[in-house]
Structure 1
Amino acid sequence: MKTLTKETAGSLAKVLNSQLSTIHSDDMVAILGVGRESHNEGAIQSWLLSRFADIDVSHPNMILESASEVLNQHLTDLRMEVMGGSISEIQAPHDFVQIKLLSDQELRRIARAIYFLIFGYGSRSGIDSLINLAIGGRGNSIDQIASWISVQGKTYTYFPSELTLSLAQRLMEKLKRIDESY
């Protein structure tokens, strides 16, 4: 067993990213990364380094296959968690930890991540219509989600990505209510 190096994780991330079907080049940043990476590859690399600290590098094909399976299962599990109906609470910050404000870029990355997570709920046009009905606002669905997030609260404690799951679950709840009423 060897420790997964940043370089090996970067190479794996490049291949895994090419296998993912995403809409934007930074959809995964607020899902897999800490929320500060600039693109999906960086987020996948961060995820790999945290998930596979010790790895057998003697079989590269097995590493890639295993990482791909685990990544796809993780994303599927997150989508199921979002669609499941339960809502994870955003942890209240400790008094001794400084609260940080989301930047506009972090806000948009979380919006893109949420859009990616709810994308399995229906067709793209159907989801866009539900978003428009549920939260309204100006611009496309990502703009509307970003505006909605800013109303929910733009603070985090450690990483911007800590907000993604609970906000996605809250939005999904709103979308389901709208969908059921029509």
Structure 2
Amino acid sequence: MNTLTKETARSLAKVINSRLSTCYNDDLVAILGTGRESNNEQAVQSWLLSRFAHIEVGRTDMLMEYALEVLIQHLDDLRLDVAIGGKSEQKTPQSFIPAKALTERELRCIARAIYLLISNEQSKPYLDALIEVVLKGDGNTIEKITAWVFTHTQIYSYFPSELTLPLAQRLMHKLKQAGESY
């Protein structure tokens, strides 16, 4: 038996990614990956390597099914945490770690990840309309969320993805408040 290699993780990620249903090709980047991957497949690969780094690889088909099940459960848990109003603290920058500025691409990946996490709660047209009311401004839904993320933070310490969950929870709270008043 061998441990999970980068090549095996890449192959598993390709199959697992093809079985996932998401809105964009990079909306998992700021959830599963570090936030620097190019697409969902690479984010799934990063997640596999971090989550299953020391698992013995025997039957790849069994590992793939198990990893897919764990991944879907992880995403469902995150969505539930956002939906019920969990509060994750946004990490405060440490003075001994230089802060890094978010790029436009990283902001967009975080916005798409936030949309994926909050979209489980409502129907898409209702959610888009609610975001339109709450966030105002120009552009489509993702552009509005991107601008909102930018107004809340422009830096991170370790990985851009560290910002996703706390910002998703904050936006969901804001959307719930608006939804209750309409």
Band of TM-score, shorter chain: over 0.9
| Separation of aligned partners in 1, 2:93 and 2:123 | 37
2:91 is paired with a residue whose SS is coil
| Separation of aligned partners in 2, 1:36 and 1:3 | 25
Percentage of matched positions with identical amino acids? 58
State how 1:1-182 maps to structure 2 within 5 Å: 1-182=1-182
| Separation of aligned partners in 1, 2:115 and 2:58 | 38
Is the contact between residue 56 and residue 63 of structure 1 (CA under 8 Å) also seen in structure 2? no
Q: Which runs of 4 or more aligned residues in structure 1 lie more than 2 Å from their structure 2 counterparts after TM superposition?
A: none
Is the contact between residue 2 and residue 58 of structure 2 (CA under 8 Å) also seen in structure 1? no
1:113 is paired with a residue whose SS is helix
| Separation of aligned partners in 1, 2:131 and 2:110 | 15
2:85 is paired with a residue whose SS is coil
Any idea what the Cα deviations from partners look like across 1:54-106, whole Å, max 9, x if unmatched? 22322121101100100000000000111111221111111110001100000
1:120 is paired with a residue whose SS is coil
Shift of residue 6, structure 1, vs aligned partner: 0.4
Structure 1: which 5+ residue stretches go unaligned? Answer: none
| Separation of aligned partners in 1, 2:124 and 2:39 | 22
Aligned length: 182
Please report the RMSD computed on the Cα atoms of aligned residues, expressed in angstroms: 0.8
Structure 2: which 5+ residue stretches go unaligned? Answer: none
1:66 is paired with a residue whose SS is helix
Shift of residue 135, structure 1, vs aligned partner: 1.1
TM-score, structure 2 as length reference: 0.98
Any idea what the Cα deviations from partners look like across 1:18-55, whole Å, max 9, x if unmatched? 00001110010000000000000000000000000122
